[in-house]
Amino acid sequence: MHSLIIFASGAGSNANAILEYFKKNGKAKVALIVCNKAGAGVLKIAEREGIPTSLIDKTTFNGQVLIDEMRSYNPSLIVLAGFLWKIPDGMTRAFSGKIINIHPALLPKYGGKGMYGHNVHDAVIAAQEKESGITIHYVNEHYDEGNIIVQEKCSIKPNDTPDTLANKIHRLEHLYFPRVVGYLLDKIKD
Ligand code: GAR
């Protein structure tokens, strides 16, 4: 069976969607959840599911111990599901081609430093865009610039607000992210 490592910083609704999907489909298990925020919702989800967690700070995030811990799970993929720190170069090198991220907009628009979570939806609505969406992409050493795997779009109506857009985006994420992870795993031998 494939093993997955999830990185998340917040509520963890995407992490939850992924682990529920693989509980049913049985092809993978979430072996470790890495989080940089004490008290984050994702940690409660991990506790509920009995999944080991690693709570990191800037020092441990950049250290070899975390990489060794991750290696010990032999992950097929490392999934960034609402993780807000830039992955250090040492980690992208150690897990080259195995780290994927979800971004709540249609990259290359509305990406880069500071563009996460609600900031993205605020900017998209302020620019009066007619559509937004999600981007699932590989992670390289440049923030939000790795090769794109999939994009899915949603339309924006004149009465949409950053909050209603966030809901539309979450729906797309929960629908597509687990399936895309499954599709990538099918191409990897476990
Ligand atoms: C998601 O919308 C995800 O796309 C976004 O954070 C949210 C986390 O929600 N990620 C980024 O902005 C990364 N730049 P969740 O904690 O409920 O999964």
Beta carbons of 81 and 102 less than 8 angstroms apart: yes
pLDDT in tens, 5-57: 999 999 999 999 999 999 999 999 999 999 999 999 999 999 999 999 999 99
pLDDT in tens, 147-181: 999 999 999 999 999 999 999 999 999 999 999 99
For residue 163, the model assigns a pLDDT of 97
In a domain, residue 161? The reply is no
**Whether the predicted pLDDT of 90 surpasses 70:** yes
In a domain, residue 168? The reply is no
Determine the 3-state secondary structure of 32 from DSSP. strand
In a domain, residue 69? The reply is yes
What is the spatial distance between Cα 143 and Cα 120, in angstroms, rounded to a whole number? 14
Determine the 3-state secondary structure of 103 from DSSP. strand
**Whether the predicted pLDDT of 190 surpasses 80:** no
In a domain, residue 38? The reply is yes
In a domain, residue 167? The reply is no
Q: Is the CB of 103 under 6 A from ligand 1?
A: yes
pLDDT in tens, 98-132: 999 999 999 999 998 889 989 999 999 999 999 99
Atom in ligand 1 nearest the alpha carbon of residue 115: 14
For residue 180, the model assigns a pLDDT of 98
What is the spatial distance between Cα 115 and Cα 167, in angstroms, rounded to a whole number? 17
Report the CATH number that the domain containing residue 19 is assigned in CATH. Answer: 3.40.50.170
Q: What is the domain count for the chain?
A: 1
In a domain, residue 91? The reply is yes
- Amino acid occupying residue 68: D
Going by CA atoms, what residue is nearest to atom 2 of ligand 1?
Answer: 104
In a domain, residue 85? The reply is yes
- Residues with Cβ within 8 Å of 176's Cβ and at least 6 positions away in sequence, in order, are 134, 136, 150, 152
The overall average pLDDT reported for the chain is 96
Q: Is the CB of 178 under 6 A from ligand 1?
A: no
- DSSP code, position 131: E
> Is 118 annotated as catalytic?
no
In a domain, residue 123? The reply is no
Distance between Cα 75 and ligand 1 center (Å): 21
Q: Is the CB of 137 under 6 A from ligand 1?
A: no
**Whether the predicted pLDDT of 96 surpasses 90:** yes
Range of the domain at 68: 2-118+136-153+173-186
